Structure 1
C-alpha cells in the first residue's frame, strides 16, 4: 500500500526572542530524497517529495540561521528504522557543533554500542508511545554500557500513562533519561495533571532532563494551553530543561504544521533571560558535551 507524503515545513521566519550566542536546537530530524537512504518498510509516511539529502541539509541550515541556532541535536527518524545512516551522515556533514540520537535494538552488542559512540551519537532513543526496536527492559539492560561511553537514554512517553510506573527504575539507572516533548500528556496539559508531580520530583532531583518541544502536537498556536505546564517545568529545575523545534515536523497525525518562530516565542512569557541562557546554551553544552 502506498504511504502518504509528509508535508514540507514552512520557510522559517525570525522569532521575537533573540537567542544567546551558542544556542542549541536540541531536537530535529533529518530526512533525504527517496533514493538517498533506504526507508524502513514499516514506516507510516514518506519524506516530503522533492529535496534530496543535500537540499534537506541546506533547508536545515536555513532553519538554524534564521532562528538563531549555532548547535543542534539530530534525532534519528523511525522513517528509516534501525538504519542510522541518514542521521550519521547528517551529523558528520554538519560538523563539530552537532550530535546525534539514534536507534539500537534490544540486545545490542558492545561492538554495536562502540560504533554508535564513534558516530558521534550521544543517546539511544526509546519510543514508549509508538513502540519500536528498543523496549524499556532492553534500555535498562543497555544502560551500564551506555554509561561507560558517556551516552544517555532519550525517551518519548505519556506522563499521565507512564511516569508513575517508570519513576523507580529511572532513579536506579546509571545514566540520565531525557524526556521528549514535555512528556506528551494525553489527559490535558494541566500543570498538576496526572504524572506531573512525579515528573517534577525527578526533574528536581537532577536525574532527568526534559525537552520543551513539540507543543504543536498537543495544542494549537500560540500554545497558551501548554504555558503553565512549561512554566512549572522551568521553575522546577531550569538547569535540566532543553528546547527543540522538532523540525521538519514529521507524522503530524492531524496537528497543524507549525511555524518554528511561534514555538520559540511561546517561551517569551515563561522563561527569563537567565532561563534562556540555561535552556539554549548551558544545559545542552553540559548534557551533549559540546566543545567551547
Structure 2
C-alpha cells in the first residue's frame, strides 16, 4: 500500500479527530453483550461497559476525544470497537489486536474507521508473550499506515521487547508506565535501562495506570515515577484513564481524580496541554 492509498483510505470515513480538546488515550468498552457478546473462550469476562457509558463519562469530565483499546477478552472480534468508532464522527480512535497474517483489506478498513495502532501484550495472564519474530512481523504490517504499537507489560519484559523493537523505527507507546512498582522509586538498574529507551524519538509513554503501579488510589510515589518519565519525554507523553478498569482487586478508581492527578504531575498549564491535548492529537491524527 502506498502513502497515497493510505491517505485515500482514511479520507473515506468520518471527520479526522480535531486537534482541540482533552484526550483520554486508554479506555476499553465491553458490550452491550446482546449486540457484542464475548466469545465462549474469553480470557476474562468483565461486566458490561458500553460505549454509551464511556461517552457520557467523558462529557461530564470535559474530555473531547478518546481512544478505545481492544480488550483481550474480545480477541480478534473488533465489532464493538469499530461500531463505536463509526458512531463517534471521528472524535475517537481505536487500537486493535492483530496477527501478522491479517488481510490487507481488513487493515485498510480498520484505518478508514479510525484505528491508529495495535497492542502487543506481554502480560501472561492476558495471554501475552514475548515473540520477537511475530512482533516484528506485525510492525511490518502496520508501518505503511503510520500506526503505532502499544507495549503492555511489566518493566523487565518491556525492556526486553524494546531491545528488539525500538530499532525498527515504528512508534512505540508504553502502556501504564511499564507497570513499574511505584514503591521501588526510580533509582535502580532496570528503570535506568528504561529511561535510555524512553529517550529515543520513537518511544512514547502513557501516564496511565497510576492505580495499577500502587495497588490503589494514585499516590505521591506514582507521581514521582510519572514526573521522571515526563521529564524525559515531554513531547511524547499522553494520558489515559483505563476506564472501566478491568481486572483489578481494589476499589475502582475515580476518573476525575485520575485526571486531576495527571494535571498535578504536569505541574503547569502548558505541560498539561501537551500531555492532554497536543501530543495525543499528533499521535492519533
Is the CA contact 2:43–2:73 (under 8 Å) kept in the aligned structure 1? yes
Distance 1:202 1:231 in 2: 16
Q: Structure 2, unaligned stretches of length 5 or more?
A: 1-18
Correspondences of 1:8-157 after superposition (within 5 Å): 22-48=21-47, 56-130=50-124, 131-132=127-128, 135-157=131-153
Distance 2:159 2:37 in 1: 38
Task: Give SS of 1:231's match.
Answer: helix
Distance 2:134 2:110 in 1: 16
1:218 aligns with 2:213: yes
Q: Structure 1, unaligned stretches of length 5 or more?
A: 1-19
1:266 aligns with 2:265: no
Distance 1:187 1:275 in 2: 22
Bigger mean CA deviation after superposition, 34-43 or 90-99: 34-43
Distance 2:189 2:153 in 1: 13
Residue 194 (structure 1) shift: 4.3
Distance 2:235 2:104 in 1: 32
Distance 1:99 1:188 in 2: 33
RMSD: 2.2
Distance 2:105 2:187 in 1: 43
Give the TM-score of the pair, scaled to structure 1. 0.82
Task: Give SS of 2:63's match.
Answer: coil
Correspondences of 1:184-223 after superposition (within 5 Å): 184-186=179-181, 188-219=183-214, 220-223=216-219
Residue aligning to 1:8: none
Distance 2:128 2:228 in 1: 31
Bigger mean CA deviation after superposition, 88-97 or 220-229: 220-229
Q: Indicate the structure with greater helix content.
A: 2
Residue aligning to 2:239: 243
Residue 229 (structure 1) shift: 0.6
Deviations 1:45-74 (A, max 9, x none): 43325x7xxxx3332122111212101111
Residue 269 (structure 1) shift: 3.5
Task: Give SS of 1:205's match.
Answer: coil
1:175 pairs with one of 170, 173, 183:
170
Distance 1:164 1:96 in 2: 34
Is the CA contact 1:73–1:99 (under 8 Å) kept in the aligned structure 2? yes
Residue 29 (structure 1) shift: 0.6
Distance 1:133 1:113 in 2: 23
Task: Give SS of 1:168's match.
Answer: helix
Residue 186 (structure 1) shift: 4.7
